[in-house]
Amino acid sequence: MLISVFLPAAFLPGLTGRMYAQFALVIAATALLSAVNAATLKPTQCALWLRPSVPPEQRNWFYRGFNSVYNRLERGYAGLIGRMVVHSNLSVILALILIGIGGYGLSRVPTGFIPIEDQGYLLVAVQLPDGAALDRTQRVLDQVSEIAGKTPGVEQVVSIAGISALDASSSLANAGVAYLILKEWSERGPGQDLRSLFVGLNQKMTAIEEARILVIPPPPIQGIGNAAGFAMQVQLRDGNADFGKLQAVTGALVANAQTQSALQRVSSPFVRRFRSSMSRSTGSRPRRSM
């Protein structure tokens, strides 16, 4: 019954399925082991308990040897507990030390809703100034590929120009993305773990001043926390379509956010787009729309 209830939860799609998959599989496996135990081991144990007992000295060598070792361990454990009770002050100090070690270990474990995991690759988001051509974006991506390719621990680099990784993969000529395929965990040396590569590559990418470049690990669940940050939307609420004003407000917001010590690499994919048409036959003036 428990297996039929929990096992289907492991096949749910999307975020819900990923969140409940491990829990469902653990409960289903536990229920399966309990069923096997109830059908095989418990009846055998009951049969051993209900039959007339055999004196310990008349049992075979395996039982006598096991009981001898177990009795020694039991006496040693009882003696250790007795000494700990006698020296209770020392026992309390040792317990506090163990609690401190445990707290330190927990502080070293990654925190968050879902900690970042080493999935074998990294993302590099590239954003150039507004109006930058696609060829210019590709040249920056070539520099990113060259720097990343020379980094120990990186096996392959795949770059795509015209896609903004931080804007729901929208098509932007002044944006691009590069996928850094890392080597297998067994092939990496010291200083080639995910955190070291992430920090080191971000520092190396600062040498490219033509664009804003951000190296980010992929989220453990697709759709949650790209770049481990948050997103904001700016909206004109006065009823007009003044995109210049919207761009100015967005730029001021980004500039203010960059001064905050808790934030880093704040960027906006806002781009003003123009479309012009001109009639060569009539010589009319060009028309421009936004």
Residue-wise pLDDT tens digits, 240-253? 777 778 878 888 88
Residues 6+ apart with CB under 8 A from 189: 152, 153
What average pLDDT score do residues 48-70 get?
Answer: 83
Residues 6+ apart with CB under 8 A from 152: 189, 191, 192
What average pLDDT score do residues 272-290 get?
Answer: 57
**pLDDT of residue 77 exceeding 80:** yes
What average pLDDT score do residues 30-57 get?
Answer: 83
Cα 105 from Cα 81, distance rounded (Å): 27
**pLDDT of residue 168 exceeding 70:** no
Angle of helix 88-108 relative to helix 61-86, nearest 10 degrees, comes to 100
What average pLDDT score do residues 152-176 get?
Answer: 82
**pLDDT of residue 191 exceeding 90:** no
- Of the pLDDT bands very low, low, confident and very high (cuts 50, 70, 90), residue 264 is low
Between 76 and 226, residue with greater pLDDT? 76
Give residue 289's pLDDT.
46
Say what the pTM is.
0.55
